[in-house]
Amino acid sequence: MRFVSFRLATSVLATTALLLIANAPSQAQTRAETLRYVTGASVNTLDPNIPGSTRESFALSMSTYDRLVAFGRKQLNGKWVFDLGTITGELAESYDVSPDGLKLTFRLRKDAKFQDGSPVTAEDVKWSLDRCVTAPILGKAQLLTGSLTSADQFKVIDPLTIEVTLPKPDKLALPNLATVYPMIINSKLAKAHATPDDPWATAWLKEHTAGSGAYVVETFKPGEQVILKRDENWNRGSANKPAFFKRVIVQSVPEPATRANLVERGDADLVVDLQASDVQSLEAKGKLKVISTPQYNAITYVSMNNQMPPFDNVNVRRAIAYALPYDDMFKAALFGRGAPLFGVTWPDGKPLNGIYPFQQPVKMDLDKAREYLKAAGLPEGFSTTFSFNVGQSSTAEPMAALVKESLAKIGIKVDIQKLPDAQMSTQINEKKLPFFTEGIVAWLPSTDYFYRNFYTGNQRWNYSSINNPDLAAIAQEARFEPDKAKYEEAGRKLNAMHFDLMPQIMLWQPNQDAVMASSIEGYTYEFHRQVDYRDVSRK
């Protein structure tokens, strides 16, 4: 009896194996038209506006929804990156900015259709933008940075024309409309699912899409995978063609070593969040394409709480700035994969330009650090803690050890504190950490934006808790400065103040290491720091 069943089992196995082999060619064909993208994060909502949505959700929405306008792309050191300077139409066929800069007029494409086949109208655009500035969603805070705050600012002129009015000529109004949040929603479909409690259909849009984007969501398993199908009628790409890949699989693979294995074996096509050590070894093997772009809208800092002793003393902050072993940290944490923000010389002691972030003229100089400590009245040093979050431990841990070792040489005793991510963000928000490392990202990286958001106000992103009225005033004024030379001058002033006050220490801009099969082309570094699936194609 036992032998019979065993034989049966083997024959079943053999048959299935044969079937698998027979199926192989047809599978291979569709495989070439499929993009399999693996990531350590996951998509948790189909509407990126929902509070708590992840970066992967942002990226997904770029492909499932269209916006009025989109960023162009440019080459930076031979690599494609998004270009804040060129804004092209996406759903808008063309747009005009009035001479006084107070009116933006968008004319919609006549052939644009939502995924259910209904045409995209100015009413839909108005409803979507109204939603963005009135509903309690993430878009509100983003659009605020472009002076877009009220539904009265959006006016339907005719079914294909919409006008946006601004209170001031704000440079960031137009770029803001190209960011993740102000996506254009099929208002009829969404309204059909709105409830009196939820007039903007946030609950429904979290689980469903109602867009005109390049890809239709086929299956959505939060935390596991999303499968997208190409919308054959979509023609908002550069060459008026649908997107290249027929299918896109976005799959969560939490273990970084497994992601590296998958892409090396050719089972995955593209990954952007590998460990630096894996990227280095994959690059050395030369089988895959590795595109490393410094994340020029992101910065890693060593921050000090400017309101908390002893870091309220500028000389203590300067001492720290001259006591960090920058080169060793850069090598240990990132394997040198990034753009350093330290170690230049300013010939006449003035900033080289008015662009933020910039390379500061600091390098490790322990004698100088000791002098500053003496000037601060702390020649014997002091004790403090240095915190980082668990999610960043692969880069922050080796860095923290080097900080501790180096500061010990000038008498500063450092205890390293590793905090779970939620705990870290809470403590930063409550301004309880004296000394820590964190990173920031800005979607619309302009000098005044950085200084206004990351160096002013009693808010979470002001890591150093700096409260300098002069700095805040210059940054605020620069925001609406139409004259380029004056703007540059303000930037230089701000950068000089940054170096003088040393509220926090800019370390570097880590690379985005995109590792992909050699057949993948067109990868572009986007402002949301994820892959835009519409950019890529296969040779």
Binding site for other proteins (CB under 8 A): 12-13, 15-17, 19-20, 23, 27, 30-31, 34, 36, 38, 42, 44-45, 50-53, 136, 138, 140-142, 144-145, 206-207, 221-225, 227, 249, 251-255, 257-258, 261-262, 264-265, 267-268, 390-391, 420-423, 425-427, 429, 440-443, 453, 459-460
Least distance to other proteins from the beta carbon of 496, Å? 26
CB 284 within 8 A of CB 345: no
| Nearer of residues 233 and 425 to other proteins, judged by Cβ | 425
| Nearer of residues 224 and 312 to other proteins, judged by Cβ | 224
| Nearer of residues 15 and 353 to other proteins, judged by Cβ | 15
Q: Which helix (H) or strand (E) holds 378?
A: none
Least distance to other proteins from the beta carbon of 265, Å? 7
Distances, alpha carbon 203 to alpha carbons 19, 139, 356, in Å: 44, 16, 39
DSSP string, 154-182: EEEEETTEEEEE-SS--TTHHHHTTSSSS
CB 186 within 8 A of CB 99: no
| Nearer of residues 28 and 485 to other proteins, judged by Cβ | 28
| Nearer of residues 37 and 114 to other proteins, judged by Cβ | 37
| Nearer of residues 296 and 382 to other proteins, judged by Cβ | 296
Least distance to other proteins from the beta carbon of 77, Å? 25
Least distance to other proteins from the beta carbon of 241, Å? 25
| Nearer of residues 407 and 536 to other proteins, judged by Cβ | 536
Q: Which of 172, 211, 189, 196 lies closest to 49, judged by CA?
A: 211
CB 374 within 8 A of CB 404: no
Interior/surface letters 94-109, b for 16+ CB within 10 angstroms, e for the rest: ebeeeeebbebbbbbb
Tell me 392's DSSP state: G
CB 94 within 8 A of CB 68: no
Least distance to other proteins from the beta carbon of 63, Å? 18
Least distance to other proteins from the beta carbon of 451, Å? 15
Amino acid at 488: E
Interior/surface letters 320-332, b for 16+ CB within 10 angstroms, e for the rest: bbbbbbbeebbeb
Least distance to other proteins from the beta carbon of 369, Å? 33
* Sign of the dihedral through C-alpha 58, 59, 60, 64: positive
Amino acid at 422: A
| Nearer of residues 342 and 443 to other proteins, judged by Cβ | 443
Interior/surface letters 376-408, b for 16+ CB within 10 angstroms, e for the rest: bebeebbebebbbbeebeebbebbbebbeebbe
List all residues 6 or more positions away from 159 whose beta carbon is below 8 Å from its beta carbon. Answer: 121, 122, 123
| Nearer of residues 225 and 524 to other proteins, judged by Cβ | 225
CB neighbours of residue 26 within 10 Å: 9
Least distance to other proteins from the beta carbon of 500, Å? 27
Q: What CA–CA distance (Å, rounded) separates 191 from 456? A: 39
Q: What CA–CA distance (Å, rounded) separates 462 from 283? A: 37
List all residues 6 or more positions away from 123 whose beta carbon is below 8 Å from its beta carbon. Answer: 156, 159, 187
Copy the structure tokens of residue 121.
């109208």
| Nearer of residues 116 and 218 to other proteins, judged by Cβ | 218
Least distance to other proteins from the beta carbon of 184, Å? 19
Q: What CA–CA distance (Å, rounded) separates 526 from 82? A: 5
Least distance to other proteins from the beta carbon of 354, Å? 22
| Nearer of residues 58 and 154 to other proteins, judged by Cβ | 58
Least distance to other proteins from the beta carbon of 113, Å? 28
| Nearer of residues 145 and 437 to other proteins, judged by Cβ | 145
Least distance to other proteins from the beta carbon of 539, Å? 21
CB neighbours of residue 16 within 10 Å: 10
| Nearer of residues 3 and 117 to other proteins, judged by Cβ | 3
Helix (H, G, I), strand (E, B) or coil at 227: strand
Least distance to other proteins from the beta carbon of 390, Å? 7
Q: Counting Cβ atoms within 10 Å, is residue 128 exposed (0-12), middle (13-18) or buried (19+)? A: buried
